[in-house]
Amino acid sequence: MDALSQGVFEGDLTCAELLQQGDFGLGTFNDLDGEMIVLDGQVYQVKSDGSVLKPDPSTQLPFATVTFFRPDQKISLDKELSYAQIKDLLDAALPFKNIFYAIRIDGKFSQVTVRSVPPQWKPYPDLAQAISEQRIFQKNDLAGTIIGFWFPHYAKNINATGYHFHFIDRTRTFAGHLLDARLISATASIQSVYKLNIALPKTANFDSTDLTQEQHVIIPEK
């Protein structure tokens, strides 16, 4: 995450190789070319025009977080909830704050707002500058899935801490990094994760980036 925040937008891992490590997750693609969603073993790419594609298995990426999703807890969310209220209920459900969690929420939504980012060109800007060019999309009255993770604060140099969610609708035509949602009803499935494997990019850009300084990475949510 520190490297990504400084504009390391190239990696050597392919989508096919990523799926060997997990069937559920999120990330981005080389050149920061859209948002990545991994759901039920399929990779989706959300382009900056809002289109949702299935990328070629050879497509490479600089950053992703995946797991083989096997939930150990389910919560019924059977009332209307704002995005903040969803996270409050998840806070109460996570039993420990020093481990990792994979979270999947399947349900019906009265409103969902997502974003994607246009591809970047060398010399790459930093992540905050790239995200400032985001494209925002909103849709009402839809069914779909929130995909994401919760990481503890001590992992801040390697991943986004707290909640990091992407969304894809049931038709697989509307998706992106989740900015806001209003839930009608859903089921939240939570997996406790006690093991973290890290694969570093084998690229000159990553090798030459100074990662000794504290980055205080924050992924903008507006």
Owning domain of residue 7: 2-208
* Domain count along the chain: 1
The number of angstroms, rounded, from the C-alpha of 29 to the middle of its chain's C-alpha atoms is 12
In a domain, 214, yes or no: no
Using alpha carbons, select from 99, 26, 30, 20 the residue that is nearest to residue 64: 26
Q: What is the dihedral of CA 198, 157, 69, 118, to 10 degrees?
A: -100
In a domain, 219, yes or no: no
In a domain, 197, yes or no: yes
Mean pLDDT (whole number) for 193-220: 87
Task: Find the CATH number of the domain harbouring 39.
Answer: 3.30.1330.80
In a domain, 169, yes or no: yes
Decide: 111 and 180 in contact? Cβ < 8 Å. Answer: yes
**Residue 122 identity:** K
In a domain, 222, yes or no: no
Question: Per residue in 172-197, pLDDT tens?
Answer: 999 999 999 999 999 999 999 999 99
Continuous H helices in the chain: 2-5, 15-18, 83-93, 127-131, 204-208
Mean pLDDT (whole number) for 20-34: 98
pLDDT at residue 217 tops 90: no
Say what the pLDDT of residue 213 is: 82
Question: Per residue in 84-118, pLDDT tens?
Answer: 999 999 999 999 999 999 999 999 999 999 999 99
pLDDT at residue 222 tops 60: no
Mean pLDDT (whole number) for 118-140: 96
